[in-house]
A and B are shown apart, each in its own frame.
Chain A
Amino acid sequence: MNAKGTVFKYGDNVDTDVIIPARYLNSSDPAELATHCMEDIDKEFVNKVQKGDIIVATKNFGCGSSREHAPIAIKAAGVSCVIAETFARIFYRNSINIGLPIIECKEAAQGIEAGEQVEVDFNSGMIYNRTKGTEFKGQAFPEFMQKIIAAEGLVNYINNK
């Protein structure tokens, strides 16, 4: 499994309130949530994002509320992978559970800039910056996590078992 796309780059402590503001949480429809994704940190995100694009951020991505709407909005916006130095723990769990691939890799988070072309190989955990020609070793997904992601989330994975 691979992800490939253009990078949107953010800093430390991107919280779930800016990923999907609570004023939109009266909906739980992924497509509707996607139209407001990242709205309070990057108004242009929803206009620019293309299917397959990648979000790269530094420390503690997804901190704050437990709203699963945050990874749902990111996934429904078309993002294929989120790379960060570290993730907040509830966001990490939620992302795996809904089948949004996320990778912790400090070097990649620091060595990739906005607009660059990046490819991620989930089997090996390798992250390739195609624009700069650099590469980074992230943590490979354990087999069960790859299966959850392939099944588009924990529920399907449990049902498939």
Chain B
Amino acid sequence: MGMTMTQKILAAHAGLEKVEAGQLIEAELDLVLGNDITSPVAIKEMEKMKVDGVFDKDKIALVPDHFVPNKDIKSAEHCMCVRKFAQKNEITNYFEVGQMGIEHALLPEKGLTVAGDVIIGADSHTCTYGALGAFSTGVGSTDMAAGMATGKAWFKVPGAIKFNLIGKLNQWVSGKDVILHIIGMIGVDGALYKSMEFVGEGIKSLSMDDRFTIANMAIEAGGKNGIFPVDELAEAYIKEHSKKTYTIYEADEDAVYEEEYTIDLSTLRPTIAFPHLPENTKTIDEIKDEVKIDQVVIGSCTNGRIDDLRTAAEVLKGRTVAKGMRCIIIPATQAIYMQAMEEGLLKIFIEAGAVVSTPTCGPCLGGYMGILADGERCVSTTNRNFVGRMGHVNSEIYLASPAVAAASAVTGKISSPEQL
């Protein structure tokens, strides 16, 4: 009985020849991540532990990104706590405002996450790095504290679901539509405790940014992680961004999968998740009644990368945001921001009447930079549309791709670029 890609990475980091689903293991960690919300709790917990300091100052990444630039005094104090801890422990990879970005866009870009790594992060979207062939998963603050102190974490080896991707995406259909389609199909607990293993020739046509988006939302199906095989494109990305050594693991041919799905990418349509769960999906063609909206957000760890901004700009070029609408665009990192500027994308956004913000998670989790009022509706390229997630409990979030979000900003109702 063979192992999946995830199981092979975990076995190697536990010093074991072989692991199987359900087995409890202790694994060595290549990176431990935290942000300004989760790190202060972890730091407090770590201070209670009888340890001298962190296990390896080069293998911890601290990224204040949720409520920065500081939104209020309490947030400022949280950030100060993280900053002081980073200084005291000489953390190499602490990213201050000005260098930072949204953690899951930033770390791959900085070359800190590579194929074959085992990564834990006190943020649920840590699963993003599976796009590069790493095992990465979200944990809480106490696990982060123990990880920073010991460089180890315990895991229950997950069983797996295989998603065999075939065919090629059509124009205006993206990685976001792929993952929303999957979540709509299997539900928000469809992959509970399991790894989501993406395979098949269809992957070849997916850009790295598409793959980051897909792996990013594995947690929205309840998954422990999402993971892609390392092909030439992924290897080129790693070589371009990182000097770290990486290891490519491949699933055994006789690996065990609890479920298998085949998805023909060419059949997918722009897909939107209606309130208040990411599984409430409809394709653009299934939306019969007009859904009027008040705001659009394009950004986040899910869709704030350069491909996403290029798509949004392609739609917004020469058009304007509908009267009465707010369109908020947030490049995920400083480098993406700069690239968008050099490519003229920011000019297109501003001319269209959108606002462009410095990197922050802000509106995605109802922190700041785009909070919704009672009854307001937002089309957002973020990852969750739970009750009250972006503001008032009676507000509504419709999750969509950058293409749909940009088109909706132009029309003031849920639309695809084909309808413009």
Chain A residues at the B interface, C-beta cutoff of 8 Å: 13, 15, 17-18, 21-23, 25-28, 40-41, 59-60, 63-69, 71-72, 86, 88-90, 93-94, 97-98, 153-156, 158-159
Contacts and interface: CB of A to CB of B under 8 A. Distances in A.
A13 B141 CA distance: 22
A72 to B, nearest CB: 8
B140 A26 contact: no
A93 B121 CA distance: 13
A25 B140 CA distance: 14
Given A22-B365, A88-B222, A154-B146, A13 B188 contact: yes
B275 interface: no
Contacts of B387: 15, 17-18, 40-41
Interface residues of B, number: 46
A26 B138 contact: no
A70 to B, nearest CB: 9
* A13, A40, A90, A153 pick with most chain B CB within 10 angstroms: A90
Contacts of B146: 154-155, 158
Contacts of A89: 192-193, 222, 224
B388 interface: yes
B277 A13 contact: yes
A93 B393 contact: no
A119 to B, nearest CB: 28
Contacts of A25: 37, 66-67, 365, 367
Contacts of A158: 49, 146
B199 interface: no
Nearest to A25: B37
Contact of A67 (B38, B75, B277, B388): B38
Contacts of B188: 13, 60, 63
Given A28-B44, A94-B140, A68 B388 contact: no
A68 B41 contact: yes
Given A26-B67, A71-B140, A86-B189, 13 more contacts: A17-B386, A17-B388, A22-B37, A28-B40, A28-B44, A60-B188, A66-B38, A66-B122, A89-B222, A90-B138, A154-B142, A154-B146, A155-B146
Contact of A90 (B50, B124, B366): B124
Given A67-B37, A156-B48, A98 B142 contact: yes
B20 interface: no
A23 to B, nearest CB: 6
Nearest to B41: A28
A23 B370 CA distance: 12
* A27, A64, A94 pick with most chain B CB within 10 angstroms: A64
A66 B138 contact: yes
A67 B140 contact: yes
A21 B123 contact: no
A107 B45 CA distance: 36
Contact of B142 (A59, A60, A86, A153): A153
A5 B219 CA distance: 33
* B50, B140, B145, B277 pick with most chain A CB within 10 angstroms: B140
Contacts of A156: 48
B70 to A, nearest CB: 9
B74 interface: yes
* A15, A22, A98 pick with most chain B CB within 10 angstroms: A22
A21 B367 CA distance: 9
Contacts of B142: 68, 94, 97-98, 153-155
